[in-house]
């Protein structure tokens, strides 16, 4: 006996060595790379048969097939193990039986038999002698791949019959499992529940009961969940006999409390009780304990029924726990026949044909039973044929060269993923590999969806080469892996937590795909599971091709459009909520101070809610001033916008300063920020029923954000701050002289802010291979008023005329071929500000909130000079001001710099008086002069101003801002929108977006102060028409009569839109004698076409009176308007 056991173990060792060698030699290429392959799909385990007709339907050439070379590949059923250290099958050849292959011809009577493993694992625990069913979270089918190789395929081998007189086993454990996925409690996490107990507190199930073995134990495992604010219970009975009860404790009635309590029980009953029954009725009864609102959900059950080994005309899968009582057993099956085959399928990929003795109708075989073995007994002719199969295109992900970045894209978005990949290859010289999820599954999880397959694929590439740095998931994920939710969005799956009923511990995260070290992967949902990311991961959560295109368009425009280059690249804005004892304002202020003091080249602005007036109404509190400040910041452009505070999927703060509706007003396509939102759920991107604020901002085609670091679930302020702090310790750093890409930044941030599962709620929505639009080079100051800044510089004082000379540098050396312009800003000292104290104590903070000058100067050979007058409105105390600079050359390379170590304060000596107020010119949409222009509700105010001493934009003088007042009701502060002209600080202009203007006649009053505080006022009337209208307000032709030529002028309300203009010239007989046509890419207030009086043949029209008919069409909405007038031709 001992020698037999040793032989068995030696065979097993030899088998595993063979498997290991096979996997090792195949690991760098895929078997799917060459040959014809057909993928078969199955939703039920068992033996399947392939005949000649089925093989032909699969597309194989029967006449040329050598059946000895037929091979089938697959893997063990269930899910892949998360832990990297646990072995996995991959796509392996499975042993099959081919009848009639010896003649090397696949004849009509020949067939293939192979075993298909179960979708859901059935595990046996030898310590408790119990079975447990593990639901496959990701798939309802398993897949097998058939091909014809160039050599012989793997065949099922025979197992020796070890004897028929060993301890006899004539019963098996019949397993009935039931689990239905209907309900996800939170719309989060991987756990789903089944039928509910509520209005009907009873569920009943019937099962046929045949060949029951008496005087044995029926075991019943039950799992369920209850949602009730009181204690409840669930009772189970079989054929009217109570067998057990689950008890549930009450859940708390709180927003963030657990949303259900689970309970599990294992109950037993003697089988003799049901010896005369031919059916088993299971009844489950929920006791609400008097609470009508209480509800329970079935999570599944498993019946283990002792059953006689008796063949009944259909295949039987059997395992017998009784066989474990001895190391070798004789299995006896009654009612057998000579057509039966018995396979040992303990290893479903290497089934063995068990030889047996048949005496009459009694089948016996001896086999090892020191471990629990599983067998299937069947008749070959009765086995089902595959009905679902498809041909595969050859692929070889395993053989791919490791790239810099992998893009895993849903097939629907492949064109855009490839476009982005091509852009990165050309612009960044990055190597990029684009694949689909299904291609990954085919090679790493035998064709079935499994998030671990994606992780294993990424690890495979990383092990081949450390070059892999970034992973982009192109397509939205979903907490529903199996399309149970209507209009599901599981385009590229994300990882869902085990925790599924607690709002504060349930999460989704793409971080899982970046845990690539040997001891990682299991990811326990606590600090023990604080794995570190080995790559940077981002996601573009598109659900439509239009969204995908919008995202890629914005990424390309962000990098390549000349219009996207500007001094907004040096700005950061920190937005903070009020309340909570000023926690959010304090956290934001610490981050802002870090940036302002450590990275002075960047300019910081603070928008703290409590610094703005709030309005109470029946609908809650609001702050129009804070909302406008946020919108102004977006319109001016910021590199990074950071929000700290309360939020939800649809916006920020209960005062709603950002909502999905107000996002519509973000028209900032050429000034896209990175949004960092330390708030709850704003970037929830795995719920098919929600289009979150983050998604709307990301896919807004004419504005929004370029990327977001945001949260998909509730988060805590403490972990928010830790993660934010880690972010700002890397996002503005330049290791090796370069700013980092977003993927490197998010990887560093996550790894340096580990805090259990909570910080995994942060996700990068965007391209991880992208760099933010940081300025490239540096700017330094060479002299201030003729003195070197290295020496003791003069103090800058109010009303002083200042001369600054500086240069553009790279690595400390002047860039001599840098020719372009520099934008120069002077800021007053940091002011001590205080919030209002609406919900908490007043909060004191420092901010450089007063910009004293903003102008431009020419840069020649890397050197610039700029003059300006320090305004009267400064803080007269002496302290450190700030000079902030941004330069752009003719080749669209930029630079930035700052100086904060100089003194500002006091009043200059020997001042020349200026008592003349500024001059003001007002336009709307463009500088075309129209008496009363007609515009749509969204328009652009344009101001041109002049003053000998320059225009005041300081915030230090009360009521002395550059401002525009609409209809005597709303006043807009334009200080931040004013820019002095290049090389002439006396002239300047302001462009300000006017949004949601009221229909009808409107009046704007402009107030401008010069740096000596001289005031000028000017008013301007204009008309607003409906957004969807097209209105021609005026037409004329000049000169009229036409002698040599005339110019048609058409005024309208659609400036800024693409237009199509047609002018038809009609004679006295009503005939159209010539048509003039113009395609206008971006309309102005007035369009003009000049005509020389010739018809389409080049012949002069005769003298007389004509009519010209003007047709103007908006290409945005197809709306048209027609207007006509007379034209006299008189040569």
At 868, which CATH number?
2.60.40.1930
Find, among 495, 543, 549, 542, the residue nearest to 523 by Cα: 495
Could you read off the pLDDT of 734-746 as tens digits, one per residue? 998 899 999 999 9
In a domain, 539, yes or no: no
pLDDT of 760 reads 83
Mean pLDDT of 414-435: 98
233 in the same domain as 372: no
> HSE of 361 in the Cβ direction (CA atoms, 13 Å)?
8
pLDDT of 1056 reads 82
pLDDT at 17 over 50: no
Distance, in Å, from the CA atom of 55 to the CA atom of 1103, rounded to the nearest integer, reads: 85
Of 907, 929, 944, which closes a domain? Answer: 907
C-beta separation of 763 from 710 below 8 A: yes
Distance, in Å, from the CA atom of 494 to the CA atom of 137, rounded to the nearest integer, reads: 12
Of 369, 391, 413, which closes a domain? Answer: 391
What is the domain range of residue 654? 546-740
183 in the same domain as 249: yes
C-beta separation of 462 from 535 below 8 A: yes
297 in the same domain as 319: no
- C-alpha distance from residue 971 to each of 282, 487, 941, 959, 1000 (Å): 73, 45, 13, 11, 19
Helix (H) or strand (E) holding 856: strand 851-860
The pair of structure tokens assigned to 85 is: 């250290």
In a domain, 499, yes or no: no
731 in the same domain as 585: yes
62: helix, coil or strand? Answer: helix
pLDDT of 1070 reads 84
Comparison of pLDDT for 11 and 958, the residue scoring more: 958
Mean pLDDT of 1055-1074: 89
pLDDT of 741 reads 98
In a domain, 893, yes or no: yes
- C-alpha distance from residue 578 to each of 114, 560, 608, 694 (Å): 66, 39, 7, 22
In a domain, 927, yes or no: yes
Find, among 190, 81, 189, the residue nearest to 138 by Cα: 190
Residue 645 makes CB contacts below 8 A (sequence gap 6+) with: 575, 576, 577, 578, 584, 609, 652, 653, 678, 679
Dihedral angle sign, alpha carbons of residues 422, 424, 429, 433? negative
DSSP-derived letter for residue 81 is P
Give 881-892 as a DSSP string.
-EEEEEEEETTS
Could you read off the pLDDT of 244-278 as tens digits, one per residue? 999 999 999 999 999 999 999 999 999 999 999 99
951 in the same domain as 1066: no
The pair of structure tokens assigned to 273 is: 């009780």
C-beta separation of 583 from 731 below 8 A: no
Residue 3 makes CB contacts below 8 A (sequence gap 6+) with: none
Q: Which of 765-774, 1061-1070, 1116-1125 has the lowest mean pLDDT?
A: 1116-1125
Q: How much of the chain exceeds pLDDT 90, in percent?
A: 85
Dihedral angle sign, alpha carbons of residues 335, 337, 340, 344? positive
> HSE of 1012 in the Cβ direction (CA atoms, 13 Å)?
14
pLDDT at 758 over 80: no
Burial class, 431, CB count within 10 angstroms (exposed 0-12 / middle 13-18 / buried 19+): middle
pLDDT of 1005 reads 96
This model's pTM is above 0.85: yes
pLDDT of 8 reads 44
Name the CA dihedral angle for 788, 789, 792, 794, rounded to a multiple of 10 degrees: 90
Find the radius of gyration of the CA atoms of the chain.
Answer: 38
Q: What is the overall mean pLDDT for the chain?
A: 93
C-beta separation of 533 from 462 below 8 A: no
Residue 284 makes CB contacts below 8 A (sequence gap 6+) with: 197, 202, 203, 204, 222, 224, 234, 235, 236, 298
Could you read off the pLDDT of 691-729 as tens digits, one per residue? 999 999 999 999 999 999 999 998 888 888 999 999 999
Find, among 1048, 1081, 1082, the residue nearest to 1062 by Cα: 1048
Sheet of 651-652, strands arranged across: 647-648, 651-652, 658-659
C-beta separation of 678 from 723 below 8 A: yes
Helix (H) or strand (E) holding 1088: strand 1086-1091
pLDDT at 329 over 90: yes
Find, among 356, 374, 352, the residue nearest to 365 by Cα: 356
The pair of structure tokens assigned to 415 is: 């064109």
34 in the same domain as 143: yes
CA 100 to chain CA centroid, nearest Å: 54
Alpha helices in 918-1017 (DSSP H): none
The pair of structure tokens assigned to 39 is: 């993928």
Residue 710 makes CB contacts below 8 A (sequence gap 6+) with: 675, 676, 677, 679, 682, 683, 694, 762, 763, 765
pLDDT at 12 over 60: no
Distance, in Å, from the CA atom of 449 to the CA atom of 120, rounded to the nearest integer, reads: 13
C-beta separation of 681 from 508 below 8 A: no
C-beta separation of 283 from 277 below 8 A: no
298 in the same domain as 317: no
pLDDT at 16 over 80: no
At 1055, which CATH number?
2.60.40.4070
C-beta separation of 342 from 160 below 8 A: no
Q: Domain total for the chain?
A: 6
Distance, in Å, from the CA atom of 230 to the CA atom of 292, rounded to the nearest integer, reads: 11
pLDDT band at residue 793 using 50, 70 and 90 as cut-offs = low
154 in the same domain as 210: no
- C-alpha distance from residue 465 to each of 55, 410, 458, 535, 724 (Å): 40, 25, 11, 13, 31
Residue 6 makes CB contacts below 8 A (sequence gap 6+) with: none
Alpha helices in 729-829 (DSSP H): 742-751
In a domain, 346, yes or no: yes
Provide, for the chain, the percentages of residues in helix, strand and coil under a 3-state DSSP scheme, each rounded to the nearest 5: 20, 40, 45
At 1016, which CATH number?
2.60.40.650
Around Cβ 504, how many Cβ atoms within 10 Å?
Answer: 16
C-beta separation of 799 from 872 below 8 A: yes
pLDDT of 22 reads 36
> At residue 699, what are phi and psi to the nearest 5 degrees?
-100, 5
pLDDT at 422 over 90: yes
164 in the same domain as 50: yes
pLDDT of 1122 reads 87
883 in the same domain as 987: no
pLDDT at 26 over 80: no
In a domain, 500, yes or no: no
942 in the same domain as 793: no
Where b means 16+ CB within 10 Å and e means fewer, 634-657 reads bbbbbbbbbbbbbbbbbbbbbbbb
704 in the same domain as 584: yes
Find, among 678, 674, 666, the residue nearest to 631 by Cα: 666
Residue 316 makes CB contacts below 8 A (sequence gap 6+) with: 172, 309, 376, 377, 378
Find, among 380, 375, 382, the residue nearest to 309 by Cα: 375
Where b means 16+ CB within 10 Å and e means fewer, 887-917 reads bbbeeebbbbbbbbebbbbeebeebeebeeb
In a domain, 140, yes or no: yes
Give 1041-1055 as a DSSP string.
SBSS-EEEEEEES-T
Find, among 310, 48, 303, the residue nearest to 170 by Cα: 310
In a domain, 992, yes or no: yes
Q: Which of 11-20, 441-450, 515-524, 551-560 has the lowest mean pLDDT?
A: 11-20
pLDDT band at residue 14 using 50, 70 and 90 as cut-offs = very low
C-beta separation of 939 from 924 below 8 A: yes
The pair of structure tokens assigned to 585 is: 């304002």
Of 364, 391, 418, which closes a domain? Answer: 391
Distance, in Å, from the CA atom of 1048 to the CA atom of 1065, rounded to the nearest integer, reads: 11
DSSP-derived letter for residue 969 is T
C-beta separation of 313 from 307 below 8 A: no
CA 1017 to chain CA centroid, nearest Å: 49
The pair of structure tokens assigned to 62 is: 């029967």
pLDDT band at residue 27 using 50, 70 and 90 as cut-offs = low
Helix (H) or strand (E) holding 461: helix 451-464
pLDDT band at residue 25 using 50, 70 and 90 as cut-offs = very low
* End-to-end CA, the chain: 123
């Amino acid at each position: 006996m001992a020698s037999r056991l040793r032989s068995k173990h030696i065979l097993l060792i030899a088998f595993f060595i063979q498997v290991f060698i096979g996997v090792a030699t195949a690991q760098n290429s895929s078997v799917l790379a060459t040959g014809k392959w057909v993928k078969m799909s199955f939703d039920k385990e068992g033996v399947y048969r392939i005949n000649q007709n089925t093989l032909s339907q699969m597309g194989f050439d029967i006449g040329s097939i050598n059946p000895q070379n037929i091979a089938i590949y697959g893997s063990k059923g269930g899910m892949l193990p998360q832990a990297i250290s646990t072995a996995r099958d991959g796509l392996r050849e499975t042993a099959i039986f081919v009848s009639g292959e010896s003649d090397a011809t696949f004849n009509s009577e020949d067939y293939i038999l192979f075993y298909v493993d179960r979708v859901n694992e059935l595990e046996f625990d030898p310590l408790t002698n119990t079975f447990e069913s593990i639901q496959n979270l990701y798939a309802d089918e398993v897949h097998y791949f058939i091909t014809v190789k160039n050599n012989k395929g793997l065949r099922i081998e025979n197992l020796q019959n070890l004897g028929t007189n060993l301890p006899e086993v004539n019963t098996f454990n019949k397993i009935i499992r039931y689990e239905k996925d209907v309900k996800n409690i939170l719309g989060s996490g991987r756990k789903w529940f089944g039928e509910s107990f509520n209005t009907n507190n009873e569920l009943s199930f019937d099962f046929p009961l045949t060949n029951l073995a008496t005087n044995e134990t029926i075991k019943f495992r039950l799992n369920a969940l209850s949602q009730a604010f009181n204690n409840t219970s669930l009772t189970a009975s079989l054929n009217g006999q109570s067998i057990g009860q689950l008890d549930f404790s009450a859940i708390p009635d709180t927003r963030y409390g657990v949303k259900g309590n689970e309970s599990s029980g294992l109950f037993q009953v003697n089988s003799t009780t049901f010896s005369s029954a031919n059916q088993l009725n299971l009844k489950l009864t929920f006791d609400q304990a008097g609470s009508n609102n209480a509800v329970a959900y079935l999570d599944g059950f498993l019946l283990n029924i002792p059953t006689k080994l008796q063949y009944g005309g259909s295949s039987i899968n059997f395992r017998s726990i009784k066989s474990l009582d001895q190391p070798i057993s004789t299995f006896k099956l009654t009612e057998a026949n000579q057509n039966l085959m018995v396979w040992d399928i303990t290893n479903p990929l290497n089934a063995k044909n068990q030889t047996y003795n048949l005496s009459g109708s009694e089948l016996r075989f001896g086999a090892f039973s020191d471990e629990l073995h599983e067998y299937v007994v069947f008749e070959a002719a009765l086995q089902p044929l595959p009905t679902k199969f498809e041909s595969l295109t050859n692929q070889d992900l395993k053989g791919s060269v490791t790239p810099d970045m992998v893009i895993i894209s849903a097939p629907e978005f492949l064109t855009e993923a490839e476009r982005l990949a091509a852009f990165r290859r050309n612009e960044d010289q990055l190597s990029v590999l684009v694949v689909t999820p299904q291609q990954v599954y085919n090679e790493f999880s035998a064709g079935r969806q499994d998030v671990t397959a994606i992780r294993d694929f990424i690890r495979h590439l990383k092990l081949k080469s450390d070059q892999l740095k970034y992973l982009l998931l192109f397509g939205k994920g979903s907490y529903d892996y199996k399309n149970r939710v209507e209009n599901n969005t599981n385009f590229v799956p994300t990882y869902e937590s085990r925790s599924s009923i607690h709002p504060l511990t349930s999460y989704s995260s793409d971080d899982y795909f970046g845990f690539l070290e040997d001891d990682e992967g299991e990811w326990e949902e606590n600090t023990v599971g604080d794995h570190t990311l080995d790559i940077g991961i981002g996601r573009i959560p598109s659900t439509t091709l239009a969204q995908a295109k919008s995202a890629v368009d914005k990424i390309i425009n962000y990098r390549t459009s000349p219009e996207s280059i500007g001094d907004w690249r040096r700005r950061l804005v920190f937005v903070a909520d009020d309340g909570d004892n000023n926690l959010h304002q304090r956290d934001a202020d610490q981050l802002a101070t870090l940036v302002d003091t450590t990275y002075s080249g960047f300019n910081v602005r603070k928008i703290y809610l409590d610094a703005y007036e709030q309005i109470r109404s029946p609908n809650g509190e609001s702050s129009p001033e804070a909302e406008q400040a946020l919108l102004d910041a977006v319109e001016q452009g910021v590199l990074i916008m950071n929000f700290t505070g309360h939020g939800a999927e649809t916006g920020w703060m209960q005062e709603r300063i950002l909502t999905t509706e107000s996002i519509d007003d973000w028209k900032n396509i050429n000034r896209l920020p990175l949004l960092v939102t330390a708030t709850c759920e704003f970037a929830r991107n795995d719920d098919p029923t929600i289009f979150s604020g983050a998604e709307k901002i990301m896919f807004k085609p004419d504005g929004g954000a370029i990327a977001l670091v945001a949260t998909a679930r509730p988060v805590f302020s403490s972990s928010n701050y830790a993660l934010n702090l880690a972010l700002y310790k890397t996002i503005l750093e330049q290791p090796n002289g370069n700013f980092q890409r977003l993927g490197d930044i998010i990887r560093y941030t996550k790894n340096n802010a580990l805090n259990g599962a909570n910080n995994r709620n942060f996700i990068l929505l965007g391209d991880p291979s992208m760099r933010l639009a940081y300025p490239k080079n540096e700017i330094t100051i060479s002299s201030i008023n003729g003195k070197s800044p290295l020496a003791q510089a003069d103090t800058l004082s109010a009303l002083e005329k200042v001369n600054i000379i500086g240069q553009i540098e790279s690595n400390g050396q002047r860039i001599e071929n840098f020719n372009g312009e520099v934008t120069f800003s002077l800021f007053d000292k940091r002011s001590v500000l205080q919030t209002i104290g609406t919900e908490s104590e007043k909060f004191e903070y420092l901010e450089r909130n007063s910009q004293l000058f903003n102008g431009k100067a020419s840069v020649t050979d890397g050197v610039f000079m700029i003059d300006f007058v320090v305004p009267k409105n400064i803080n007269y105390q002496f302290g450190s001001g700030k000079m902030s600079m941004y330069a752009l050359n003719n080749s669209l390379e930029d630079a930035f710099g700052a100086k904060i170590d100089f003194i500002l304060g006091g009043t200059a000596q020997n001042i020349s008086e200026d008592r003349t107020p500024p001059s003001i010119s007002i336009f709307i949409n463009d500088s075309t002069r129209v008496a009363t222009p007609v515009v749509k509700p969204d328009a652009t105010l344009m101001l041109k101003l002049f003053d000998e001493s320059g225009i005041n934009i300081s915030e230090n003088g009360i009521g002395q801002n550059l401002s525009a007042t609409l209809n005597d009701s709303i006043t807009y502060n334009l200080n931040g929108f004013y820019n002095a002209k290049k090389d002439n600080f006396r002239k300047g202009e302001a462009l300000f977006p006017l949004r949601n203007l009221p229909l009808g006649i409107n009046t704007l009053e402009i107030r401008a102060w010069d740096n000596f505080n001289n005031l000028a006022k000017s008013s301007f009337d204009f008309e607003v028409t409906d957004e969807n209208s097209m209105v021609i307000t005026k037409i004329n032709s000049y000169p009229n009569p036409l002698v040599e030529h005339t110019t048609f002028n058409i005024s309208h309300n659609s400036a800024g839109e693409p237009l199509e203009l047609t002018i038809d010239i009609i004679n006295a007989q009503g005939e159209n004698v010539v048509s003039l046509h113009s395609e206008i890419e971006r309309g102005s207030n007035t369009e003009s076409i000049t005509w020389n009086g010739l018809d389409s043949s080049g012949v002069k029209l005769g003298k007389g009176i004509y009519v010209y008919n003007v047709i103007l069409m908006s290409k945005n909405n197809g709306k048209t308007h027609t207007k006509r007038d007379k034209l006299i031709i008189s040569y």
